[in-house]
Amino acid sequence: MRKLAIALAAALVLTGCGGTDQPASGGSTPTGTSTSAATPVGDVTVFAAASLTETFTQIGKDFEAAHPGSHVKLNFAGSSALARQINQGAPADVFASAAPANMQQVAQSGSTVFVRNKLQIAVAKGNPKKITSLADLAKPDVKLALCAEQVPCGAASKKAFQAANLTPKPVTLEQDVKATLTKVKLGEVDAALVYQTDVSSTKGDVDGVTFPEADKAINDYPIIALPKATNAAGAKAFVDYVLSGKGKAVLSAAGFDSP
């Protein structure tokens, strides 16, 4: 009997120890235990409009710090080019477009507008041509750079000129807003229509001129975790981070407006 009692006691101890490593009922994870779902790891490939270069570079670093083991791979270009790449099979987890039209080329639903942006006239520091309005951009002695019309900043520029009843004569049409801004920075043109955030990103290298017609051509920026994302958990986590208070703070500081 004494041997039997000892055996039963040992069995009870073993049973108790075995149960502590199992999740609680319903499959939940014990408090304090991290999981790969809670902390996404691996690569998150983000295709983002060129005007998001500075902000998404910072957000990418912040996201990696908040999710150890993750790595954000960023691809910046004009939204039309990015949509075309995605539709041609380029691997992407997240798409952030500078206009809903380009987002719709990739996904008809499921995106969220996270910021808005509007145009400014970028001019050389000190504004040597004394440009103060859209009408000044139509003067024959002003060299003007615009984004190509299929690019969101180009489509917005067209709306602005239509609102002012003006027909511009640009000397160059660029494939994204950063290339358009660079023409001013290099002194190749006198002015360009870019976003207010792009002017701010130069930290004083160029000056910005506001104009009332910009309010007629405001761009909404949608973002989506793509349905065919290779890293679905990471894609969702990145979008959630952009939409979080920390992500919004970075975007707001750069001059983006809330939707």
- Tens digits of per-residue pLDDT, 209-248? 999 999 999 999 999 999 999 999 999 999 999 999 999 9
pLDDT at residue 25 tops 90: no
Tell me the pLDDT band of 43, cut-offs 50, 70 and 90.
very high
Alpha-carbon distances, residue 213 vs 133, 220, 257 (angstroms):
9, 16, 17
Match 């983006």 to its residue by tokens: 256
Per-residue pLDDT tens digits for 188-212: 999 999 999 999 999 999 999 999 9
Q: What average pLDDT does the segment 79-106 reach?
A: 97
Domains belonging to the chain, first-starting first, are 42-115+221-253 (3.40.190.10), 119-216 (3.40.190.10)
Euclidean distance between CA atoms 157 and 118, whole angstroms: 10
Long-range Cβ contacts of 137-143 (<8 Å, 24+ apart) = 137/166, 137/168, 137/191, 137/193, 138/166, 138/167, 138/168, 138/169, 140/169, 142/190, 142/191, 143/171, 143/188, 143/189, 143/190, 143/191
pLDDT at residue 1 tops 80: no
Q: What is the CA 11 to chain-centroid distance, rounded?
A: 58
Alpha helices in the chain (DSSP H): 2-19, 53-66, 79-87, 100-104, 134-137, 152-163, 177-185, 196-201, 232-243, 245-253
Q: What is the percent of the chain with per-residue pLDDT over 70, rounded to a whole number? A: 84
Characterise 201 by phi-psi region: left (phi > 0), alpha (psi -120 to 50), beta (else). Answer: alpha
Tell me the pLDDT band of 39, cut-offs 50, 70 and 90.
low
User: What per-residue confidence (pLDDT) applies to 15?
Assistant: 37
Q: Mean of the per-residue pLDDT values for the chain? A: 88
Q: Which of 9-18, 61-70, 117-126 has the lowest mean pLDDT?
A: 9-18
User: What per-residue confidence (pLDDT) applies to 40?
Assistant: 57
Tell me the pLDDT band of 19, cut-offs 50, 70 and 90.
very low
Per-residue pLDDT tens digits for 115-162: 999 999 999 999 999 999 999 999 999 999 999 999 999 999 999 999
